[in-house]
Each structure stands twice: as structure tokens, then as C-alpha cells.
């Protein structure tokens, strides 16, 4: 008891000291978090109800007018269509291809590492540079894509309607064609992103125990498909939740390719006018901060909603 | 074996599509404009001597040149001397396409400066991120203090906010304090990495308390513990985070595009490439692809050398 009593003041002192140091250690991070992440969210929220523009000293409250415009004007309708088309196309394809590649590579041992390396290259490469490379590939007359397609002219492959039309008249302009532009953007998105999903799935696959497959076989799972359905897919549940969320968030943020291909206006007939580009064009280039902020707020709502669903799924440990 | 064969066929088909733009980028950076237009020359091009028209034009002799050159060509008319000088210029301006493309890449635009900017920006971002995040992560993981839970829930909330999404309010704030078009503007929004704090906290949780207690016994202050005890134990996690951070910011195009307008001295590599593209008159495909190759190469080479580390670093976000 004696010892305890003599110690108590010291312990209390040590605890307040630790308390204070702890705050000193967290303070810089806390301040920056508030200043750089939280304050801007609040500012965007406030400005989205005003007609503010940089250079003006004052602004007027305009109520929900900016949001009204987002949901009534045809330009923004195109923006939502382009964004969702992109997300809904790129996410399933890049997740599916990532999973497929991971399963194939996982089943073939060391030699599969070569493919892993190759598929991961686009993840590392500067997207803007690769976008410019793709632009040359897709050049209507001297691009590699149309040149390759032309080689099929006069061969049996011409029974495919697409090639037949192309040979008879001309092959698509790709980036200049409003029917193709958004799909080309989607394609590049998948091309760039599926390698990332693949390595996440490969990491997930290493945690699937071999015994589980034997157990499933005992239970009558004969085909590879049954093994996949009963063992692999459920075991990959948490990975899938994560991969889908992060793919969605990345897909929402598509910008580099679109700005590189169409510096003005978001593609033929605004068919690739995605949200990030709209924020950039309206808010920064045209100084229409109110409308830009409204898009920012909607964007944040989408992204936060997605992440919250992910956390909810992870916490419930859902294995679907 | 036959089953593996179709697997390989599928994977090789995918690999061809993945590699195609890289192949084209590097190949174009070797070829002369004529070869690019006509699509000849295989991968390396024929590397025939070509004449740099612009260089010849620059050396177009005027009256003074002819006069100064007169002693070298005795007994000739001005016209003949002029022709001889032009012929000399053409001879001097001949070079292999590969040399032409790469010298143009570095001389048409200050590419070295851009690369240096890229290094400065990515390095400062990473260093500041560490200086801010490590102490906070240590405090959150190992020190008991009032408000710890609150700070940690702010961290968890901030994980929901992608910095690109709040680019507009951040831009307004920077413009208000007059920081646009500075190095600070390129670095500031990234100084706080909530993800880094979260990651390092998770890592520090696994460090045994005894290690810290022993350091305290030795009379070390908390800050000294962070840098001299915790940092060395965290090297693997830190390395992975470094790769994650450097790749993201070397390749980033959206944020530099917003805060740097016109001032070439601050251009990061992607911005430089973008400007190059804007200037392009069509005959500059070769040099542009050379620039793209130069920008993409450092990370790709580093990746090929230390693949395992890179994949670890990039997929770090999947370890949550």
C-alpha cells in the first residue's frame, strides 16, 4: 500500500504528461485534416447555394437553384448518363476480368507471373501518356487499330457485319464518333484498371485453403465450376466487396483520358461529359463556382454512399 | 497440358492488348515522321538518315553569312556559295530518327525541368506525409488520451473523402491566399494522408508495448520514440506506402492541371506532355511519343526491378 501511495502522484503526473504529448503529436495531423479535408467539404456545401465566382467580393444566396439546374438541364442529364454509363460498364468488366485473370494465373504456377507483370503495367504507367498513345492507336487513318481491322478485308472474317461495313465504307472514327466515344473511354478504363483488381484477387486467392476444395469434392462438387461456386467465390467475398468499391470510386473519378482527348467540351455531342470534367469545366475554367460546388456535393454523396455500403457489408461479414 | 494451352492462349491474347499501346509508344519514338505516316519500318524503323527541316530553316544563310563564307569558296558566285552553305546545313542537320525524336523531346520543351519538378513534388509530398502521419499514428495506436476515439473517428470519416473530389473548394481556398501557380499549391492538398495515418496506426498496434516501455526507461521522449524506435520497425510498411504515394503523385494529372496554369517552370511531367500535345502540328508524333516514353519509363523500370514490393505497395489499400 505504501508503495502505491508514493507512486500515485507520479503516475498521475506521467499520465497528464503523456496526455499532453499525445495531443502535440496528433495536433498537426488533426489541423491539416480539418483544414484540407473537412473545411472544403463544408465550403462546397455552402457555395452550392450561392452564385459566387472568384474575383467577386460578395455573393447572393440562390437557394437550391444550382441543384434545380443539375436536374433539369439537358447538359447535366448528359453528364449523369455519361458518368453512370462509365461506372456501370467499367466496374463489372474490370472486376470480372481481374477475377478471371487471377483465377487463370493462380492455376498455372510460376509461369503465370509473366502475365501478372504484364497486366500490371498499365496500373503503373502515367495514364495521360497512355491516353495519348491510345489516341494514336485509334487514329482513323494511320492508327494501329483501324490498320489491323483493314487487314481482315477480303478474308473470311468479312462475314462479321461490323467488319463488312467497315471494309465497304470506312472504319469508325472512334474518338470523333459520338456512338463510340464513351465506349472507347470505358475500354481504356478497363484496360488500365483490371490489373489492379487482378493482384487484389491473387492476394485473396492465397488465403483460400486447399483442404476446402477437397472437402467440397467429398461433398460431391465434381466440376471446376462447382468448386468455384462453393469454395472460391464465397472465400473471396471480402476481397470482392473491397475491389468493387474501390473500382467504383476510381471509375467516378475518370478525368485524364477525357481531358486528353477532348480538351473542350467533353467529347462529341457531350457523350463523355463526366462529373469530374464538369467540375473542372464549370467550376475552374468558367468560374461558375456555385454550379461546380453543387456537382462536387453530389459527387461526394455518391462516393460516401458507396464507401458506407462497403463498410456495412464488411462489418456484417457478408459472403454472398 | 491441353487445358493449360487454352489458358495460355487467352492470357496471351489479353497480354497483346495490354502491351499494344506501350509497343506503339516506344516504336513511334524510334521512327521518322514518314514511317509513322505510312506505317512502315517494323518496330525500330529503318533508322535511315533524315533531315530536320526546322534545323535547316534556322541555318538558312543570309547575305552576311554568304559574305563571311566567301573566302572559303574562292572564285564562286554568291549564288553558288549560298547553295553550298545550304548543302552544308542539310548535311549537318541529318540525323537518325531516334536521335531526332529524343533530342527534340528534350529541346522543344524543358523536359528535364518537368522531370525535376516531378521529383521535387513527389518527394516533398511523401516526406511531409510521413512527418505528419507518423506521430499521429503512434499517438493513436499507443498513447491513451482523452479524445483519442474522437480523433480516430475523424480519421475514419476523412477516409471517405477523395481529395480529387474536393478539388474545387481547395482551389478556391488556395486562390484566396494567392498560392496558385506555386510549388506549395502542388504539394499542400496532399500533405495529409489519412490513409497513411490509418495504415501506420494499424501497423503500430502490432508493435509490442515492451519495446516502447524499454525506450521510456532509457529516458527517451515520446517524439524520440516515434523517430528512433517506431520508424525503424515500420520500414517495410513505410516502403510500401512510399511506392503507393510516389506512383499516385508522379502520375497525377488532375490536380496539377487545376492549380498550374501557364507557368511552365512549375509543370510536372504529365502537364509538360499535355502541352506538347497541344502544340503538336502532326509531324511531331515521334518526339511526343519520345516524351511520353521518358515520362513513363522511370516507374515502369522501377516496377520491373522490384515487382513484389511494387505490387505490395499499390495494393496496400487492400490490406484494411
Residues β-bridged to residue A61: A50
A209 within 8 A of A188, measured Cβ to Cβ = no
B77 burial (CB, 10 Å; 0-12 / 13-18 / 19+) is: exposed
Q: d(Cα B246, Cα B264) in Å, to the nearest integer?
A: 22
Q: Is the ipTM of this complex over 0.90?
A: no
Q: Per-residue confidence at B237, pLDDT binned at 50, 70, 90?
A: confident
- Mutation for testing the A interface, residue in B5, B254, B297 having most A CBs under 10 Å: B254
Question: Is B172 part of the contact surface with chain A (CB cutoff 8 Å)?
Answer: yes
Q: d(Cα B300, Cα B306) in Å, to the nearest integer?
A: 10
Q: A288 in the Ramachandran plot: left (φ > 0), alpha (ψ -120 to 50) or beta?
A: beta
Domain-wise residue ranges, chain A: 70-315
The confidence score (pLDDT) of residue B255 equals 93
Count H helices and E strands in chain A, helices first: 16, 0
Q: Which residues of B touch A123 (CB under 8 A)?
A: 314
CA dist B109 to B186, B192, B270, Å?
A: 20, 32, 13
DSSP string, A224-245: HHHHIIIIIHHHTHHHHHHHHH
Q: What are phi and psi of A307, to 5 degrees?
A: -65, -35
| pLDDT greater at residue B119 or residue B147 | B119
* Segment (H or E) for B128: helix B111-142
Distance from CA of B209 to the nearest CA of A (A): 15
Mean pLDDT (whole number) for A62-75: 88
Q: What is the dihedral of CA A194, B18, A134, A279, to 10 degrees?
A: 10
Residues β-bridged to residue B94: B51
Residue A7 in this model has a pLDDT that exceeds 60 = no
A147 within 8 A of B39, measured Cβ to Cβ = yes
Mean pLDDT (whole number) for A135-140: 86
Residue A225 in this model has a pLDDT that exceeds 50 = yes
Mean pLDDT (whole number) for B13-29: 91
The confidence score (pLDDT) of residue A320 equals 45
Residue A8 in this model has a pLDDT that exceeds 60 = no
Q: d(Cα B165, Cα A249) in Å, to the nearest integer?
A: 10
Q: How many CB atoms lie within 10 A of CB B6?
A: 10
Residue A16 in this model has a pLDDT that exceeds 90 = no
The confidence score (pLDDT) of residue A44 equals 92
The confidence score (pLDDT) of residue A1 equals 40
CB contact under 8 A, B289 and A296: no
Find the range with the poorest average confidence among A3-12, B91-100, B298-307: A3-12
The highest-confidence range among A7-16, A26-35, B35-44, by mean pLDDT, is: A26-35
- Residues with Cβ within 8 Å of B18's Cβ and at least 6 positions away in sequence, in order, are A118, A119, A121, A122, A191, A195
B140 within 8 A of B151, measured Cβ to Cβ = yes
**CA nearest to B18, candidates A164, A134, A75, A91:** A134
Q: Taking CA atoms, what residue in A is nearest to B19? A: A118
Q: d(Cα A126, Cα B292) in Å, to the nearest integer?
A: 9
3-class state of residue B95 by DSSP: strand
Mean pLDDT (whole number) for A27-46: 92
B242 within 8 A of B126, measured Cβ to Cβ = yes
**CA nearest to B257, candidates B191, B165, B311, B180:** B180
Q: What are phi and psi of A42, to 5 degrees?
A: -65, -45
| pLDDT greater at residue B107 or residue A3 | B107
Q: Which residues of B touch A139 (CB under 8 A)?
A: none
Residue B87 in this model has a pLDDT that exceeds 90 = no
Q: What are phi and psi of A317, to 5 degrees?
A: 50, 50
At what angle are helices A127-137 and B269-279 packed, to 10 degrees? 30
Average per-residue pLDDT in chain B?
Answer: 85
Q: d(Cα A23, Cα B182) in Å, to the nearest integer?
A: 31
| pLDDT greater at residue B1 or residue B221 | B221
- Residues with Cβ within 8 Å of A115's Cβ and at least 6 positions away in sequence, in order, are A101, A104, A105, B11, B14, B15
Residue A106 in this model has a pLDDT that exceeds 90 = no
Mean pLDDT (whole number) for B205-230: 87
Q: Taking CA atoms, what residue in B is nearest to A142? A: B37
| pLDDT greater at residue A169 or residue B192 | B192
**DSSP, res B50:** E
- Structural domains of chain B ordered from first start: 2-108 (no CATH), 111-279 (1.10.3720.10)
B90-135 pLDDT, tens digit each: 887 788 888 888 888 888 888 999 999 999 999 999 999 999 999 9
Sign of CA dihedral A280, A281, A285, A289: negative
A38 burial (CB, 10 Å; 0-12 / 13-18 / 19+) is: middle
The confidence score (pLDDT) of residue B277 equals 78
Q: Per-residue confidence at A128, pLDDT binned at 50, 70, 90?
A: very high
- Mutation for testing the B interface, residue in A20, A29, A123, A298 having most B CBs under 10 Å: A29
A212 within 8 A of A129, measured Cβ to Cβ = no
Percent of chain A with pLDDT over 70: 94
Q: How many CB atoms lie within 10 A of CB A14?
A: 12
Mean pLDDT (whole number) for A136-158: 80
The confidence score (pLDDT) of residue A46 equals 92
Q: Per-residue confidence at A2, pLDDT binned at 50, 70, 90?
A: very low
**CA nearest to A112, candidates A124, A100, A104:** A104
∠ Cα B25 B29 B33 (to 5°) = 115
Q: d(Cα A261, Cα A272) in Å, to the nearest integer?
A: 10
State the pairing for strand pair B50-51/B94-95.
Answer: antiparallel
End-to-end CA gap in chain B: 38
Question: Is B147 part of the contact surface with chain A (CB cutoff 8 Å)?
Answer: yes
- Residues with Cβ within 8 Å of B307's Cβ and at least 6 positions away in sequence, in order, are A117, A120
At what angle are helices B235-251 and B111-142 packed, to 10 degrees? 140
Q: Which three cell numbers stand for residue A164?
A: 463488312
Question: Is B194 part of the contact surface with chain A (CB cutoff 8 Å)?
Answer: yes
B5 within 8 A of A111, measured Cβ to Cβ = no
- Mutation for testing the B interface, residue in A21, A120, A131, A133 having most B CBs under 10 Å: A133
Question: Is A313 part of the contact surface with chain B (CB cutoff 8 Å)?
Answer: no
Q: d(Cα A300, Cα A314) in Å, to the nearest integer?
A: 21
- Residues with Cβ within 8 Å of B251's Cβ and at least 6 positions away in sequence, in order, are A125, A126, A127, A128, B270, B299
Q: Which three cell numbers stand for residue A300?
A: 461526394
| pLDDT greater at residue A215 or residue A258 | A258
The confidence score (pLDDT) of residue A318 equals 52
Q: Which residues of B touch A142 (CB under 8 A)?
A: 36-37, 39
**CA nearest to A245, candidates A162, A160, A308:** A308
Q: Per-residue confidence at B77, pLDDT binned at 50, 70, 90?
A: confident
For the domain made up of A70-315, the CATH class stated in words is mainly alpha
**Count of A-B CB contacts under 8 Å:** 260
Q: Which of residues 24-83 of B touch A (CB under 8 A)?
A: 24-25, 28, 36-37, 39
CA dist B229 to A14, A296, B137, B235, Å?
A: 20, 42, 14, 11
Amino acid at each position: 500500500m505504501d508503495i502505491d501511495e508514493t507512486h500515485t502522484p507520479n503516475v498521475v503526473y506521467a499520465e497528464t504528461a503523456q496526455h499532453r504529448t499525445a495531443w502535440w503529436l496528433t495536433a498537426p495531423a488533426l489541423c491539416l485534416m480539418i483544414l484540407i479535408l473537412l473545411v472544403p467539404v463544408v465550403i462546397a456545401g455552402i457555395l452550392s447555394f450561392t452564385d459566387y465566382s472568384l474575383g467577386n467580393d460578395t455573393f447572393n444566396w440562390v437557394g437550391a437553384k444550382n441543384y434545380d439546374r443539375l436536374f433539369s438541364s439537358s447538359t447535366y442529364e448528359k453528364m449523369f448518363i455519361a458518368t453512370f454509363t462509365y461506372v456501370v460498364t467499367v466496374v463489372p468488366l474490370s472486376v470480372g476480368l481481374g477475377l478471371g485473370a487471377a483465377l487463370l494465373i493462380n492455376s498455372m504456377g510460376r509461369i503465370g507471373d509473366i502475365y501478372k507483370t504484364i497486366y500490371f503495367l498499365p496500373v503503373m504507367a502515367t495514364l495521360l501518356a497512355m491516353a495519348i498513345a491510345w489516341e494514336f492507336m485509334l487514329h482513323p487513318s494511320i492508327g494501329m487499330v483501324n490498320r489491323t481491322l483493314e487487314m481482315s478485308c477480303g478474308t473470311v472474317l468479312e462475314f462479321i457485319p461490323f467488319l463488312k461495313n467497315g471494309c465497304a465504307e470506312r472504319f469508325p472514327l472512334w474518338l470523333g464518333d459520338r456512338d463510340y466515344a464513351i465506349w472507347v473511354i470505358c475500354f481504356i478504363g478497363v484496360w488500365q484498371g483490371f490489373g489492379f483488381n487482378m493482384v487484389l484477387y491473387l492476394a485473396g486467392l492465397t488465403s483460400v485453403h486447399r483442404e476446402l476444395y477437397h472437402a467440397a469434392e467429398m461433398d460431391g462438387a465434381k466440376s471446376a465450376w462447382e468448386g468455384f461456386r462453393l469454395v472460391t467465390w464465397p472465400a473471396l467475398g471480402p476481397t470482392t466487396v473491397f475491389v468493387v468499391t474501390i473500382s467504383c470510386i476510381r471509375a467516378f473519378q475518370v478525368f485524364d483520358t477525357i481531358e486528353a482527348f477532348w480538351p473542350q467540351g467533353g467529347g462529341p455531342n457531350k457523350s463523355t461529359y463526366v462529373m469530374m470534367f464538369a467540375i473542372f469545366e464549370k467550376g475552374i475554367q468558367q468560374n461558375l463556382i456555385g454550379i461546380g460546388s453543387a456537382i462536387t456535393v453530389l459527387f461526394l454523396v455518391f462516393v460516401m454512399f458507396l464507401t458506407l455500403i462497403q463498410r456495412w457489408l464488411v462489418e456484417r461479414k457478408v459472403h454472398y | 497440358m491441353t487445358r493449360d494451352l487454352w489458358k495460355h492462349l487467352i492470357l496471351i491474347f489479353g497480354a497483346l492488348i495490354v502491351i499494344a499501346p506501350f509497343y506503339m509508344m516506344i516504336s513511334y519514338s524510334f521512327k521518322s515522321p514518314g514511317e509513322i505516316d505510312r506505317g512502315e519500318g517494323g518496330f525500330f524503323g529503318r533508322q535511315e538518315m533524315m533531315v530536320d527541316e526546322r534545323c535547316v530553316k534556322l541555318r538558312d544563310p543570309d547575305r552576311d553569312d554568304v559574305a563571311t563564307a566567301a573566302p572559303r569558296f574562292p572564285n564562286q558566285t554568291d549564288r553558288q556559295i549560298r547553295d553550298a552553305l545550304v548543302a552544308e546545313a542539310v548535311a549537318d542537320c541529318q540525323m537518325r530518327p531516334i536521335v531526332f525524336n529524343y533530342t527534340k523531346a528534350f529541346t522543344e520543351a524543358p523536359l528535364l525541368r518537368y522531370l525535376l519538378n516531378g521529383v521535387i513534388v513527389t518527394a516533398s509530398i511523401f516526406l511531409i506525409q510521413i512527418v505528419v502521419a507518423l506521430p499521429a499514428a503512434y499517438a493513436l495506436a499507443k498513447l491513451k488520451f482523452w479524445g483519442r476515439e474522437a480523433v480516430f473517428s475523424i480519421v475514419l470519416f476523412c477516409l471517405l473523402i477523395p481529395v480529387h473530389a474536393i478539388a474545387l473548394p481547395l482551389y478556391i481556398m488556395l486562390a484566396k491566399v494567392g498560392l496558385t501557380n506555386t510549388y506549395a499549391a502542388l504539394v499542400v492538398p496532399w500533405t495529409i494522408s489519412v490513409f497513411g495515418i490509418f495504415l501506420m496506426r494499424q501497423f503500430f498496434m502490432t508493435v509490442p508495448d515492451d519495446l516502447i516501455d524499454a525506450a521510456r526507461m532509457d529516458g527517451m521522449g515520446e517524439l524520440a520514440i516515434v523517430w528512433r524506435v517506431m520508424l525503424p520497425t515500420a520500414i517495410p510498411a513505410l516502403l510500401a506506402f512510399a511506392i503507393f504515394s510516389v506512383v499516385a503523385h508522379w502520375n497525377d494529372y488532375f490536380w496539377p492541371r487545376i492549380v498550374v496554369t501557364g507557368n511552365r517552370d512549375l509543370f510536372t511531367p504529365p502537364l509538360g506532355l499535355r502541352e506538347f500535345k497541344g502544340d503538336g502540328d502532326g509531324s511531331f508524333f515521334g518526339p511526343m511519343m519520345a516524351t511520353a516514353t521518358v515520362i513513363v519509363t522511370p516507374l515502369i523500370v522501377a516496377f520491373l526491378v522490384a515487382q513484389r514490393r511494387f505490387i505490395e505497395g499499390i495494393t496496400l489499400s487492400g490490406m484494411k
